[in-house]
Structure 1
Amino acid sequence: KNTGGISNYLNKIRTNILTSDFKANVERWIEGIPAVGKYMKKTVELAQDSLETIIIPGKLFEDMGITYLGPIDGHNTQELIDIFEKTKKLKGPKLIHVKTIKGKGYRIAEDTPSSYHGVGCFNIETGESVKKSGKITYSEAFGNKMCELAGKNEKIVAITAAMPEGTKLDKFKESYPNRFFDVGIAEQHAVTFAAGLACAGIKPFFAVYSTFLQRAYDQIIIDVCMQKLPVVFCIDRAGIVGEDGETHQGIFDLSYLSTIPNLTIMAPKDKLELEQILEFATEYTEPIAIRYPRGEAEIISEECKKIEYGKWEVLEHGEDIAIIAAGKMVEKAIKVAKALRTKVVSTEIINARFINPIDENLLLNLVTTNKKIYIIEDNIEHGGIGTKVIDFYNKNKLLNKIEIIKMAFPITFIEHGKPEELYKKYGLDVESIVGKILIDLN
């Protein structure tokens, strides 16, 4: 840490345009001294470089032709204004190093900054989260199951990219510190690192938010899937995340992951199925991605049917229509079916827990029933389950024998807002889905 009078003095010199001009004039004067000018200038530059290397942390940037300014107190408004005004007068690229304290002013947040990366309601006296119910979240269910699986299998390791608390791997970190790896904000490295571990016979689980995994698309293809390595991608915050905003909405992962060969993609309908899928992934010998949403983990069914590779689950049989859904949208499908029942519409509910591969036999059987198929998903409309189903029927020349209606998010960036408000805006809440189906049937 570079602090003290000399560092502050040199930084002041750097932000003074008059001093900057004076320095240039002195250099020209020294260089103009007959016979020894060039040598004297070189000696002065070497001395200056040596001093700056010791005192100024930005020497690396200086070597790249970038003027480094700082470090500056990010909580001192006047100092920030001064440095910004002075920097405007300097020529060329500039880098201002501003130091802040996360959670400044709230001692609990200052002491545990990683716990306040994104927060909901909490008790200001204790800092503890205030839950609306006693249910655990999908992230917590994942973290707990990981600890359980690691206790049974010493080859299991967990990887995160600077999000141990957010992905709820903090308990794993405490229980198995030698099998936990935080690579920092470097998702690309995390994927390649997981591939290397898998090559050595280790079973890596990489927990990452959906929006951050897309940075590592190339590494997923080249380093993992091309080699069919048994890496498990645990994709948290899949689908709408609400108040985290448009940069964090996990609505693209199905589309870009579905393009990759050798990658199995799954989505649990509830907490118990998430745990079941994690057990399945532990034994699976090729790449697999598991996507699950933000928020409380429901228990839709206490019955856990054995997972068969590539097979979907029929939760309810119906005569009139079929709804295909995956992950969080299965719960909505059940509520939609219940509402339609009051309108004398019999609905078959299909849990598409495998998104890649899709259940082709079940889809072929649906053709013979003459039911309309409604597909609801928390992904953009292109590249998700609906696209895969339509492509399958088209490939087998069956599109003229069945009617398919897709309901998904449009190809746009979904703005900040409460999840249910966003679902309603884009026609993916229960009421809107029921309305669309009734209009369609009538």
Structure 2
Amino acid sequence: MDALLERIQSPAHLRQLSPASLQGLAVELRERLIETVSKTGGHFSSNLGTVELTIALHYVFNTPEDRLIWDVGHQTYAHKILTGRNLRMGSLRQQGGLSGFPRREESIYDAFGTAHSSTSISAALGMAVAAQLTGSQRKAVAIIGDGALTAGMAYEALNNAGASNCDVLVILNDNDMSISPPVGALNQYLAELMSGRFYAQAKKIGERVLRNAPPLFALARHIEQQTQTLIQSNTIFEKLGFTYTGPIDGHDVDGLVATLEKISKAKGPQFLHVVTRKGKGYEKAEIDPVTYHGPPKFNPSLGVVGAASSKVTFTHVFGQWLCDMAAKDPRVIGITPAMREGSGMVEFSQRFPNRYHDVGIAEQHAVTFAAGLACEGLKPVVAIYSTFLQRAYDQLIHDVALQNLPVVFALDRAGLVGADGPTHAGMFDIAFTRCIPNMSVACPADENECRQLLSSAYAQDHPVTVRYPRGAGAGVVVEKSLTPLPLGQAKIVREGEGLAILCFGPLLYEALKVAEPLNATVVNMRWAKPLDLKILQEIAQSHDRLVTLEDGTRMGGAGSAVLEALQDMGISRQVLIMGFEDQFTEHGDPGLLMQQYGLTASGIQQRIEALWPVAQVTSALRRVV
């Protein structure tokens, strides 16, 4: 371990270092990040960019008594190293190891869980108000970056915080980079602020010279106030009630410490604009911060090389379908909330730039924007992670479904997501979408069916979600056709006796492994809503035991839909609902997690045989009268 870093078991040890040692610590810390993330994979370039800022914050503020809220939370690896977790960094994002995001139960230094973006200012304001009410002197600091300031929630919080008299500090980590290239008027505005660096430096020098001559200083201040409107005007943050400082160099650790020490003593809402470079200190990440945003394991000397797997992913299937459909139908509009690369829309953005819209980290806006397009006869497709659609639930109901608008929602990362853990797991979308009137929910079992069901969704005159997992599926050949499958039509893929397994999504292939030893019928249901009631009735009347299988939550999910339908039909059967239990999943290897949650072939078979022991099974089938 490095000389300085090995002495730091907590920020208290960091604060014992001399200011002259901090730059050397930054070098060691950056080397440690490269060493660990190259072995575990994870968010990389964003963490390299926050090394000096992390050091300065823990050096100046009395953490954990003072609260640091990082946003987005994937920029906290240096924070973890400096807060007693250095020796555990090899377990990062591994099952049973460190989370890739701040987690309150993991450390007292993780003041707030921030894996979804743009929540830090709200949380920091809440903590600042709490400190004020309890008479505490602790500070609350929100560090917001990586495009998180493009979300409306951040501005709601800024509006509230600026009107308060609370001692809250908002730090904008301006690295001119979100997960996808930055978009929007705010990014342009920040670029204009950057052009005022010379003015800011000149202002500092002038203040030092003139403070000893009060009349001259007052005159200069008056002139400065007038000139400021010509050069860069008052910032939007000052208009909102903050005292604005910056922009300053986020890699000058001495300057950061000096600035933070001054601001920490100031009263009222403060805003510090810090400029950093994503990927700082690792040339390949500086040149290509998008590729190095969340790389897999890699050799630091070689960098990230092409993926070894030749399997086609569900995301790729969606991206190709979108391009093919857009080439056929000029009404197609593709929308993403700042996830162009992750959602497979790079090719679409290049081939159809006038029909591609990255709205920033603004899921609520993305959904209502799509609704507006649909009102005018266009065919919007919103590519969004399952977990991120949760952030736009009101818009999904009020703006899309209530008006019965034909918007297609391509829900990537449904089910488990592995290393990103519970904050990104797409467990809930079946439950929270199928209860919405006018909404249909498609659950493709493999890559080819994903393409077919996307075409089915596109063909409808009402909103439809098509949910699919991260990564590759069964490896089936994907046809080039855009022919849709019928809405709400299931398919019996294996005939058995006594036991029927009704599958919603990719777990179909696990069910087929179980079906042979259990002689079970297997049905690919395809749709959680509408259900194929005809096939369901036939299966229920010819089988005395039913199993529903889904990679979503059991409560309110597709299995619940089956029970509701059977009750409506007046059919009583033994039903085992299999999915995720009433708990958040952990981070780790997806295959191992599925095994842990009993959703692999062996786990499914064990659950079935435990409920219905072979010796007790009768082949006599009960019929519905």
Q: TM-score over 0.5 for the alignment?
A: yes
Q: Does 1:325 align with 2:496?
A: no
Counterpart residue number, 1:426: 597
User: Residues 7 and 55 of structure 1 are in contact (CA less than 8 Å); yes or no, is this contact kept in structure 2?
Assistant: no
What's the CA shift for 1:94? 2.0
CA contact (8 A) 1:121 1:129 kept: no
1:354 to 503, 509, 527: 527
- Per-residue displacement from partner, 1:105-135 (whole Å, max 9, x unpaired)? 333333333333333245653633323x311
Matches within 5 A, 1:137-156: 137-156=313-332
Alignment partner of 2:370 out of 180, 194, 202: 194
Q: Secondary structure of 1:82's match?
A: helix
Structure-1 separation of matches of 2:368 and 2:239 = 30
Return the alpha-carbon distance in structure 1 between the equivalents of residues 566 and 558 of structure 2.
13
Name the amino acid aligned to 1:415: E
Paired with 1:54 and 1:212, the residues of 2 have a C-alpha distance of 41
Please state how far the C-alpha of 1:104 moved relative to its aligned partner.
2.3
> By how many angstroms is 1:11 displaced?
6.7
Spell out, residue by residue over 1:333-364, the C-alpha distance to the aligned partner (whole angstroms, 9 max, x if none): 222324xx1xxx21111112111111222222
1:33 paired residue number: none
Partner of residue 377, structure 1? 550
Q: 1:142 to 1:301 in 2, by over 3 A?
A: closer
* Equivalent residue number for residue 171 of structure 1: 347
Q: Which whole-Å CA distance do the structure 2 matches of 1:435 and 1:374 have between them?
A: 13
1:127 corresponds, among 290, 297, 304, to 304
Q: Is the 8 A contact 1:11 1:70 kept in 2?
A: no
Is the CA contact (8 Å cut-off) linking 1:205 and 1:234 kept in structure 2?
Answer: yes
Alignment partner of 1:243 out of 394, 413, 419: 419
Q: Aligned in 2, Cα 1:296/1:48: closer, same or farther, shift over 3 Å?
A: same
Is 1:441 the counterpart of 2:612 in the alignment?
yes
- Shift of residue 53 of structure 1? 4.5
Displacement after TM superposition at 1:397 (Å): 3.7
1:391 aligns with 2:567: no
Moved more, 318-327 or 101-110: 101-110
Q: Deviations over 1:158-184 (max 9, x none)?
A: 111111111111111111111211111
Q: Compute the RMSD of aligned alpha carbons.
A: 3.0
In structure 1, how many angstroms separate the alpha carbons of the residues matched to 2:472 and 2:421? 19
1:201 Cα offset (Å): 1.5
Q: Does structure 2 retain, via aligned residues, the 8 Å contact 1:121–1:130?
A: no
265-274 or 245-254, which moves further after superposition? 245-254
Opposite residue 391 of structure 1, the aligned amino acid is E
Whether 2:494 is the aligned partner of 1:316: answer: yes
Amino acid at match of 2:601: V
Asked if 2 retains the 8 angstrom alpha-carbon contact of 1:329 and 1:376, the reply is yes
Offset of 1:78 from its aligned partner? 3.7
- Is residue 197–residue 247 contact of structure 2 (8 Å, CA) maintained in 1? no
Contact 2:421-2:586 at 8 Å conserved across structures = yes
C-alpha deviation, 1:300, in angstroms: 5.0
Instruction: Give the 3 Å change call, closer, same or farther, for CA 204–306 of structure 1 in structure 2.
Output: closer
Post-superposition shift, 1:252? 1.4
Determine if contact 2:453/2:484 at 8 Å carries over to the other structure: no
**1:45 shift after superposition:** 7.5
C-alpha separation in 1, matches of 2:312 and 2:343: 13
Q: Is the 8 A contact 1:329 1:378 kept in 2?
A: yes
Between 1:250-259 and 1:291-300, the stretch displaced more is: 291-300
Which runs of structure 2 are paired with 1:38-437 in the superposition (5 Å)?
47-53=223-229, 59-122=235-298, 125=302, 127-131=304-308, 133-300=309-476, 307-338=485-516, 341=517, 345-398=518-571, 401-437=572-608
Q: Secondary structure at the match of 1:7?
A: helix
CA contact (8 A) 1:7 1:56 kept: no
Task: Give the Å deviation of 1:263.
Answer: 0.7
Structure 1 residues not aligned, in runs of 5+: 31-39
Q: CA deviation at 1:395?
A: 3.5
Structure-2 separation of matches of 1:411 and 1:259: 18
Aligned-partner Cα distance in 2 for 1:281–1:440: 37
Q: One-letter code of the match for 1:130? A: A
Which whole-Å CA distance do the structure 2 matches of 1:380 and 1:426 have between them? 12
Q: Is residue 8 from structure 1 mapped to residue 201 from structure 2 by the alignment?
A: yes
Identical positions, percent = 38
Deviates more, 1:184-193 or 1:63-72: 63-72
Alignment coverage as a number of residue pairs: 415
Q: Which residue of 1 aligns with 2:27?
A: none
- Give the residue type in structure 1 aligned to 2:307: V
TM-score for the superposition, normalised by structure 2: 0.61
Deviation of 1:138 (Å):
0.7
User: Cα distance, 1:236 vs. partner?
Assistant: 0.6
Letter in structure 1 aligned against 2:577: K
Aligned partner letter, 1:246: P
Residue 244 (structure 1) shift = 1.9
Render the CA deviation track for 1:222-266: whole Å, top value 9, x for unaligned: 221112111111111111111122221111111111121101110
Opposite residue 129 of structure 1, the aligned amino acid is: G
Q: Deviations over 1:58-108 (max 9, x none)?
A: 732223222223323333344333333332211112222222222223333
Sort the Cα spacing of 1:219 and 1:404 in 2 relative to 1 into closer, same or farther, 3 A.
same
Pairwise CA distance, 1:271: 1.0
Change (3 A) 1:45 1:142: same
1:317 partner amino acid: E
Read off the aligned partner of 1:393 and give its amino acid letter.
L
Q: Which amino acid aligns with 2:344?
A: K
SS of 2:372's equivalent in the other structure is helix
* Distance 1:270-1:74 versus aligned 2 partners, 3 A rule: same
SS of equivalent residue, structure 1 residue 207: strand
Q: Is the 8 A contact 1:206 1:234 kept in 2?
A: yes
Contact conserved, 1:374 with 1:407, CA < 8 A, in 2? yes
* 1:144 Cα deviation after fit: 1.2
Q: Alpha-carbon deviations, 1:293-322, whole Å to 9, x = none?
A: 101132458899972221211111111311
Counterpart CA distance in 2 for 1:81 and 1:264 is 54
- 2-side partners of 1:13 and 1:92: how far apart? 25
Q: For residues 351-384 of structure 1, what are the alpha-carbon distances to aligned partners after superposition, in whole Å with 9 as ceiling and x for unaligned?
A: 1211111122222222212331111211122121
SS of the equivalent of 1:298 reads coil
C-alpha distance in 2, partners of 1:44/1:312? 77
Deviation of 1:6 (Å):
4.0
